[in-house]
A and B are shown apart, each in its own frame.
Chain A
Amino acid sequence: MPRLLRGLKYGTKPLNFEEHLAQWGPMYLHNGEGILAEVEASGLLGHGGASFPVGIKWRAIKSQRRRSIVVANGSEGEPASAKDALLLMRAPHLVLDGAVAAAGALDATRVVLYTGAMHVGAVSAALAQRQRAGVDPVKIEVATAPEAFVAGQETAVVGALNGKSGAIPLYSGIHSIRERGVSGRPTLVQNVETLAHVALIARYGAQWFRSLGSSDSPGTMLLSVTGRWSETVVVEAAYTTPMREILGLTPSEIAHFQGANLGGYGGSWVSMKTLMSLTLSESVARDANATLGASIVILLPRDVCPVSEVARVAHYMRDEGAGQCGPCVNGLAEIADLLGGIVNVAARRRKPAQVGDFLELCNLVEGRGACRHPDGVARFVRSAISVFDSHFNEHFHSSPCAQAGSYGVLPLPAPNHRRMVSTSRGAK
């Protein structure tokens, strides 16, 4: 069954170009309209967090009837996500094939692969192999993304490639990047996993792609799973696969966990019961008031304090905002402060926050930033309070839990992680 992960080598070495061709065969790029039609027919959904139909996105850019820019987005900002890194380090030619196919379909003048410094070497080596083989009709550039949570936000990507330093989302209420992006051109910012799927669709076609998954959610997807095994594991599964099949937990193992995060730090918390009832599908997740988000699952064991964990992440998310929008700067700071105030009950100086205070703040920040960063935090915090309600109640009503402030299990970058510098605006 594996598609993207088929033929990966044991260990950490990537497939080189010869091995990649031996595995998949060559990709013949017929005409651009042909690839576009095939991607539309495939029903491929984006893997950058929005699950947006790729064919629709491409057609919207093609309709601009101007030459475009294609950006392969490999700047994986969510700490618990490992799927894009895996592809870039182990199967870079799938990503690069997909980028070339997109460039043909959208008549691109430039193709850029945008990724963190730790992947630039591997990608550059793969590009050198392709240059020696002389296969690509376009030149692919590599650009380095800063290490920041919002670096992969599509307008931040465009801003960076237009020369802005840091990772700063831009306002897109008037013009979207599909009209005016890098160098003022219609720009496609597409996640690297999505492009890897395109590489296979370009070879085997839409019907082949649709032979797994469902008609609404065709194909396979990569999922980063933390807490189930001893380290974060990237799993490939067909859409509509039951989550219980992917995780393979016995009932007594399930009982070891008190809840799960689905979608990452901009996603939501669900109970283990809900998680086990889900199948891999964005619409099924939405029906359960959740989202696949950044294709992340994190299982939270029973012996940690969920309030402490959520507080840690909330502080990180506050620090990772671009600092541009008043409601986000102020709102995320207050949410983090209030959470900190209920973690360590003994250190509290004033009356503890209550549920209503959090819900009010979450409502106040949603939809009021230039990007969806505050919306993600609101969803993350609101769902945590709901799923871990009895534990939060303990903290609200001032009896400390035994594990409060214990060492964190939710992955965050190392303490010396350098946050991008941005101007702080709007805080009153």
Chain B
Amino acid sequence: MSEWHLKIVVDPIKCDGRGVCHELFPEWISLDKWGFPIISEGDIPAEFFDHAQRAVNECPRLALHLLERMETRR
């Protein structure tokens, strides 16, 4: 069976600290005292995949990226 693994990363150059990502995905993304995202470590739990996709889509600077990998178990 195959499993998707998803990570979300921020391009710190593009990021302007607007904070939309935190609003849309507070379970995984918090903001530091200057307004820039602090992203939790590791793979995103499957129940949050749609939140992650929405955060990536809605970032005004398109600064977020999803890194996907598929692991197949036999």
B-binding residues in A (CB < 8 A): 170-171, 173-174, 324-328, 330-331, 364, 368-370, 425-428
A-binding residues in B (CB < 8 A): 9, 11-17, 32-36, 38, 65
Task: Report whether over half of chain A's contact residues are helix, strand or loop; otherwise say mixed.
Answer: loop
In contact, A326 and B35 (Cβ under 8 angstroms) = yes
Interface centre among B9, B17, B35, B65 (most CB of A within 10 A): B17
The closest CB in chain A to the CB of B15 belongs to A326
Chain B residues whose C-beta falls within 8 Å of the C-beta of A331 in the assembled complex: 34
CB distance from B2 to the nearest CB of A (A): 23
Chain B residues whose C-beta falls within 8 Å of the C-beta of A330 in the assembled complex: 34, 36
Given A325-B13, A370-B13, A428-B35, list of 15 further CB < 8 A pairs?
A: A171-B13, A171-B14, A173-B11, A324-B13, A325-B15, A326-B17, A326-B34, A326-B35, A327-B12, A328-B12, A330-B34, A364-B32, A368-B12, A370-B11, A426-B36
CA separation between A95 and B13, bound complex, in Å?
Answer: 33
In contact, B34 and A327 (Cβ under 8 angstroms) = yes
CA separation between A171 and B34, bound complex, in Å?
Answer: 20
Chain A residues whose C-beta falls within 8 Å of the C-beta of B35 in the assembled complex: 326, 428
CA separation between A368 and B35, bound complex, in Å?
Answer: 13
In contact, A426 and B17 (Cβ under 8 angstroms) = yes
CA separation between A426 and B33, bound complex, in Å?
Answer: 13
CB distance from A318 to the nearest CB of B (A): 14
In contact, B32 and A170 (Cβ under 8 angstroms) = no
CA separation between A370 and B10, bound complex, in Å?
Answer: 9
In contact, B36 and A368 (Cβ under 8 angstroms) = yes
CA separation between A173 and B12, bound complex, in Å?
Answer: 10
Q: A174-B65, A326-B17 are in contact. Are A428 and B11 (CB under 8 A)?
A: no
Chain A residues whose C-beta falls within 8 Å of the C-beta of B32 in the assembled complex: 327, 364
Chain A residues whose C-beta falls within 8 Å of the C-beta of B9 in the assembled complex: 173
CB distance from A389 to the nearest CB of B (A): 26
Chain A residues whose C-beta falls within 8 Å of the C-beta of B15 in the assembled complex: 325-326, 426
In contact, B65 and A325 (Cβ under 8 angstroms) = no
CA separation between A92 and B35, bound complex, in Å?
Answer: 48
CB distance from B61 to the nearest CB of A (A): 10
In contact, B11 and A326 (Cβ under 8 angstroms) = no
Chain A residues whose C-beta falls within 8 Å of the C-beta of B38 in the assembled complex: 368
Chain A residues whose C-beta falls within 8 Å of the C-beta of B33 in the assembled complex: 364
The closest CB in chain B to the CB of A425 belongs to B16
CA separation between A417 and B53, bound complex, in Å?
Answer: 46
Q: A174-B65, A326-B35, A327-B32 are in contact. Are A428 and B12 (CB under 8 A)?
A: no
Can you spell out 11 A-B residue pairs with CB atoms less than 8 angstroms apart?
Answer: A170-B13, A171-B11, A171-B12, A173-B65, A325-B15, A326-B12, A326-B36, A327-B32, A364-B33, A368-B36, A426-B34
CB distance from B14 to the nearest CB of A (A): 7
Chain B residues whose C-beta falls within 8 Å of the C-beta of A368 in the assembled complex: 12, 36, 38
Q: A173-B11, A326-B34, A326-B35 are in contact. Are A426 and B65 (CB under 8 A)?
A: no
CA separation between A327 and B14, bound complex, in Å?
Answer: 12
Chain B residues whose C-beta falls within 8 Å of the C-beta of A326 in the assembled complex: 12, 15-17, 34-36
Chain B residues whose C-beta falls within 8 Å of the C-beta of A170 in the assembled complex: 13
Chain B residues whose C-beta falls within 8 Å of the C-beta of A370 in the assembled complex: 11-13
In contact, B12 and A325 (Cβ under 8 angstroms) = yes
Chain A residues whose C-beta falls within 8 Å of the C-beta of B16 in the assembled complex: 326, 425-426
The closest CB in chain A to the CB of B36 belongs to A326
In contact, B34 and A324 (Cβ under 8 angstroms) = no
Interface centre among B16, B33, B34 (most CB of A within 10 A): B34
Q: A327-B36, A330-B34, A368-B36 are in contact. Are A428 and B13 (CB under 8 A)?
A: no
In contact, B65 and A369 (Cβ under 8 angstroms) = no
CA separation between A328 and B36, bound complex, in Å?
Answer: 10
CA separation between A327 and B38, bound complex, in Å?
Answer: 10
Chain B residues whose C-beta falls within 8 Å of the C-beta of A428 in the assembled complex: 17, 34-35
Chain B residues whose C-beta falls within 8 Å of the C-beta of A427 in the assembled complex: 34
CA separation between A330 and B33, bound complex, in Å?
Answer: 10
Chain B residues whose C-beta falls within 8 Å of the C-beta of A426 in the assembled complex: 15-17, 34, 36
Chain A residues whose C-beta falls within 8 Å of the C-beta of B13 in the assembled complex: 170-171, 324-325, 370, 425
Chain A residues whose C-beta falls within 8 Å of the C-beta of B14 in the assembled complex: 171
The closest CB in chain A to the CB of B32 belongs to A364
CA separation between A331 and B33, bound complex, in Å?
Answer: 10
Chain A residues whose C-beta falls within 8 Å of the C-beta of B17 in the assembled complex: 326, 426, 428
CB distance from A49 to the nearest CB of B (A): 20
Which 9 A-B residue pairs are closest in the complex by CB-CB distance?
A: A325-B12, A326-B36, A330-B34, A171-B11, A324-B13, A370-B13, A326-B17, A171-B13, A173-B9
